[in-house]
């Protein structure tokens, strides 16, 4: 595996993950009605750090292979949706709108998983925890929408 490629993919992941620092949870999130099965807060940074390392590993493995065009396109698409979801959900608090970003994320992670498996067993396996985590995140996103039907997105005031 090319360590420079790994580092480049990992930097993309870090940039996506930085949206969590830009749009942190707050008291408003604590007050939300959430399902009983929501993971404890400490799980999220552990899960995302592990997933970002695995995604970078998979990207670096497939990037050097012939026929990797679709896998790399799906990789780019999933990191874009990954980056988009946090500002929509936590920044705008537009939970219904975030479902569309989540659907795009889930489909692009599935596409990345399938195309990675077609090229390299280890790369495909590396995407399975991400697919599982995004499935849980989608269910949690859906549950928040269902459990908080009267919540309105933040109003954005422009100058």
Any idea which residue has 């390392």 for tokens?
53
Give 100-143 pLDDT, tens digit per residue: 999 999 999 999 999 999 999 999 999 999 999 999 999 999 99
Per-residue pLDDT tens over the stretch 21-41: 888 888 888 888 999 999 998
User: Taking each helix axis from N to C terminus, what angle separates 69-86 and 95-119, rounded to the nearest 10 degrees?
Assistant: 160
pLDDT of residue 80: 97
In this predicted model, what pLDDT tens digit does every residue of 60-101 receive, in sequence order? 999 999 999 999 999 999 999 999 999 999 999 998 999 999
| Residue bearing the bigger pLDDT, 59 or 30 | 59
- In this predicted structure, what is the pLDDT of residue 68? 97
For 109, other C-beta atoms within 10 Å of its C-beta total: 27
Residue 53 has pLDDT above 90, yes or no: yes
CB atoms within 10 A of CB 128: 15
CA distance 118 to 5: 20
Please give the pLDDT value at position 131.
98
**Chain position carrying tokens 């996506």:** 16
Sign of CA dihedral 9, 11, 15, 20: positive
């Amino acid at each position: 595996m090319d360590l420079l490629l790994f580092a480049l993919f990992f930097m993309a992941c870090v940039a996506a993950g930085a949206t969590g620092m830009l749009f942190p949870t707050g008291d408003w999130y604590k007050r939300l009605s959430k399902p009983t099965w929501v993971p404890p807060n400490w799980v999220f940074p552990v899960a995302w750090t592990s997933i970002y390392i695995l995604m970078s590993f998979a990207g670096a493995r497939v990037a050097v292979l012939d026929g990797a065009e679709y896998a790399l396109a799906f990789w780019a698409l999933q990191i874009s949706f990954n980056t988009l979801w946090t500002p929509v959900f936590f920044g705008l608090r537009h939970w219904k709108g975030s479902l569309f970003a989540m659907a795009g994320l889930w489909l692009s992670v599935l596409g990345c998983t399938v195309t990675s498996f077609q090229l390299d067993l280890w790369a495909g396996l590396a995407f399975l925890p991400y697919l599982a985590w995004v499935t849980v995140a989608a269910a949690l996103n859906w549950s928040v929408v269902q459990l908080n039907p009267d919540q309105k997105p933040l109003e954005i005031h422009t100058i």
